[in-house]
Amino acid sequence: MRLRAEKRIDSPAWMPAVTAALSVLLAFAAGGVFLYAQGVSPFEAYASILKSAFGSGYDLSETAVKALPLAIVSLAVMLCFTMLVWNIGAEGQALVGALAAAAMVRYFPLESKPAMLSLMALAAMLAGGVWAGAAGLLKAKWNVNEIITTLMLNYIAIRLLEYFVYGPWRDPSSLGFPMTSRFIDSARLPALWGTRIHMGIYALFFLTVVMEVLLKRTRFGYEIRVTGDNARAARYAGMDYVRKVAGVMFLSGAIAGFAGMCEVSGLQGRLQAGFSAQYGYTAIIVAWLAHLRPSLSLVIAFLMGALLVGGEALQISMGLPMASASILQGLILFFVLGGEFFQNYRVRLDFSRVGRARRSRGDI
Amino acid sequence: MKRLIVTLFLLLSLLAAGACAAPVPVAEINPGYVYIGPVGDGGWTYMQDEGRRAVDAAFPGLKSTIVESVGEGPESVPVMERLVRQNKSKLIFAGSFGYMDYVEEVAKKYPDTIFMHVSGYKRADNVGTMFGRMYQPRYLSGLVAGKMTASGNIGYVAAHPIPEVIRMINAFTLGVREVNPKATVKVIWLFSWFDPGKEKEAAKALIDSGCDVLAMHADTGAVAQAAEEAKTYVIGYNNDMSQYAPTMHLTAPVWNWEKLFSPIVKQVADGTWKSEAIWWGMKEGAVDLAPFGPAVPEDVRALVDAQKADIISGKQAVFTGPIKDQSGAVKVKQGEAMSDDDIWSMGWFVEGVIGEIPN
Q: Tell whether B36 and B100 lie within a shared domain.
A: yes
**Residue B359 counted as domain residue:** no
Nearest CB partner across the interface for A62, out of B38, B78, B160: B78
**Residue B18 counted as domain residue:** no
Q: Tell whether B125 and B172 lie within a shared domain.
A: no
Answer yes or no: do B78 and A178 touch at CB < 8 A: no
Closest-CA distance, A5 to chain B, in angstroms, reads 39
Average pLDDT over residues A227-234: 76
Answer yes or no: do A196 and B166 touch at CB < 8 A: no
Answer yes or no: do A273 and B191 touch at CB < 8 A: yes
Answer yes or no: do B358 and A313 touch at CB < 8 A: no
pLDDT of residue A101: 94
Q: Over the stretch B49-61, which tens digit does the pLDDT of each residue have?
A: 999 999 999 989 8
Average pLDDT over residues A68-77: 92
**Residue B13 counted as domain residue:** no
Please report, for the domain that includes residue B338, its CATH number.
Answer: 3.40.50.2300
Would you say the ipTM is above 0.90? no
- DSSP string of A79-139? HHHHTT-----HHHHHHHHHHHHHHHHHHS--S-HHHHHHHHHHHHHHHHHHHHHHHHHHH
pLDDT band at A303 (very low <50, low <70, confident <90, very high): confident
Separation of alpha carbons B8 and B28, rounded Å: 35
Nearest CB partner across the interface for B38, out of A167, A170, A323: A323
Residue B14 pLDDT more than 50? no
Q: Tell whether B188 and B306 lie within a shared domain.
A: yes
**Residue B33 counted as domain residue:** yes
Pure H helices in chain B:
2-19, 26-29, 44-58, 76-85, 100-109, 135-148, 163-179, 196-208, 222-229, 258-270, 298-313, 340-344
pLDDT band at B1 (very low <50, low <70, confident <90, very high): low
Predicted TM-score of the model (pTM): 0.81
**Residue B92 counted as domain residue:** yes
Residue B16 pLDDT more than 50? no
**Residue B2 counted as domain residue:** no
State the residue range of the domain holding B90. 23-132+257-280
pLDDT of residue A357: 52
Q: Tell whether B241 and B322 lie within a shared domain.
A: yes
Q: Over the stretch B274-324, which tens digit does the pLDDT of each residue have?
A: 899 889 999 999 999 999 999 999 999 999 999 999 999 988 889 998 999
Answer yes or no: do A163 and B358 touch at CB < 8 A: yes
- Range of lowest pLDDT (A117-121, A153-157, A242-246, A353-357): A353-357
Q: Tell whether B234 and B348 lie within a shared domain.
A: yes
pLDDT band at A359 (very low <50, low <70, confident <90, very high): low
Closest residue in B to A274 (Cα–Cα): B72
pLDDT band at B194 (very low <50, low <70, confident <90, very high): confident
Residues in contact with A318: Cβ distance below 8 Å, sequence separation at least 6, in sequence order = A40, A44, A45, A48
Closest residue in A to B31 (Cα–Cα): A316
- In this structure, are residues B189 and B158 in contact, taking their beta carbons and an 8 Å threshold? yes
Closest-CA distance, A154 to chain B, in angstroms, reads 16
- Range of lowest pLDDT (A75-79, A178-182, A295-299, B302-306): A178-182
Is residue B339 within 8 angstroms of chain A, CB to CB? no
Q: Over the stretch A210-221, which tens digit does the pLDDT of each residue have?
A: 988 888 888 888
**Residue B12 counted as domain residue:** no
pLDDT of residue A277: 59
pLDDT of residue A1: 62
Chain A neighbors of B344, CB-CB under 8 A: 175
pLDDT of residue A352: 62
Closest-CA distance, A26 to chain B, in angstroms, reads 28
Residue A199 pLDDT more than 90? no
Nearest CB partner across the interface for B359, out of A166, A177, A272: A166
**Residue B111 counted as domain residue:** yes
- Report for A44-48, A354-358, B252-256, B340-344: range of highest mean pLDDT: B252-256
Share of chain A above pLDDT 70, in %: 93
Nearest CB partner across the interface for A274, out of B73, B161, B163: B73
What total number of domains does chain B contain? 2
Counting Cβ atoms within 10 Å, is residue B96 exposed (0-12), middle (13-18) or buried (19+)?
Answer: buried
Mean pLDDT of chain B: 89
